[in-house]
Amino acid sequence: MRVRVSPPAPTLNANKMPKPPLKWAGGKRWLVPHIDPLWRKYAERRYVEPFCCGLAVTLGLEPERALLNDLNPHLINFYEQLGRGLSLKIEARYDAKLFYSHRERFNQLVKENRSQNAEAAQLFYYLNRTCFNGRCRFNQRGEFNVPFGQYKTVNYAGDFQVYRNLFRRWSFNYGDIEKLAIEPDDFIYSDPP
Ligand SMILES: C[S@@+](CC[C@H](N)C(=O)[O-])C[C@H]1O[C@@H](n2cnc3c(N)ncnc32)[C@H](O)[C@@H]1O
Q: How far is ligand 1, taken at its centre, from the CA of residue 58, in Å?
A: 13
86 close to ligand 1 (CB < 6 Angstrom): no
To test the ligand 1 pocket, which listed residue (70, 74, 124, 172) has its Cβ within 8 A of the most ligand atoms?
A: 70
Q: How many angstroms separate the first and last alpha carbons of the chain? A: 50
- What span, in angstroms and rounded, lies between the C-alpha atoms of 117 and 80? 9
148 close to ligand 1 (CB < 6 Angstrom): no
- What span, in angstroms and rounded, lies between the C-alpha atoms of 97 and 62? 38
Report residue 32's pLDDT band, with 50, 70 and 90 as the boundaries: very high
Residue 41 has pLDDT above 80, yes or no: yes
Which pLDDT score, from 0 to 100, does residue 48 have? 98
Q: How far is ligand 1, taken at its centre, from the CA of residue 53, in Å?
A: 5
Residue 6 has pLDDT above 80, yes or no: no
Residue 40 has pLDDT above 90, yes or no: yes
DSSP states of 91-137 as a string? ---S-HHHHHHHHHHHHHHHHTT--SSHHHHHHHHHHHHHBGGG---
Which pLDDT score, from 0 to 100, does residue 132 have? 97
96 close to ligand 1 (CB < 6 Angstrom): no
- In the chain, which segments carry CATH 3.40.50.150? 29-85+165-193
Q: Which residue, among 98, 72, 110, 74, has the nearest Cα to 156 in the 3D structure? A: 98
CA dihedral 65, 71, 72, 73 (to 10 degrees): 70
27 close to ligand 1 (CB < 6 Angstrom): yes
What amino acid is encoded at 40 in this protein?
Answer: R
72 close to ligand 1 (CB < 6 Angstrom): yes
Q: Which residue, among 51, 50, 28, 32, has the nearest Cα to 40 in the 3D structure? A: 32
Q: How far is ligand 1, taken at its centre, from the CA of residue 71, in Å?
A: 7
pLDDT digits (tens, 9 = 90+) for 78-93: 999 999 999 999 999 9
User: What value does the mean pLDDT of the chain take?
Assistant: 93
Q: Kindly state the percentage of the chain with pLDDT values over 90.
A: 88
Which pLDDT score, from 0 to 100, does residue 1 have? 53
- In the chain, which segments carry CATH 1.10.1020.10? 88-158
Strands 47-49 and 187-188 come out as parallel
Report residue 3's pLDDT band, with 50, 70 and 90 as the boundaries: low
In CATH, what is the architecture of 88-158? Answer: Orthogonal Bundle (1.10)
Q: CB within 8 A of 138, min separation 6: which ones? A: 144, 145
Residue 63 has pLDDT above 50, yes or no: yes
Q: How far is ligand 1, taken at its centre, from the CA of residue 190, in Å?
A: 9
Domain 29-85+165-193: give its CATH code.
3.40.50.150
Handedness of CA 161, 193, 71, 89 (dihedral sign): negative
pLDDT digits (tens, 9 = 90+) for 92-141: 999 999 999 999 999 999 999 999 999 999 999 999 999 999 999 999 99
Q: Which residue, among 17, 36, 75, has the nearest Cα to 187 in the 3D structure? A: 36
Which pLDDT score, from 0 to 100, does residue 161 have? 94
Q: Which helix or strand (DSSP H or E) is residue 172 part of? A: strand 171-174
What amino acid is encoded at 69 in this protein?
Answer: N
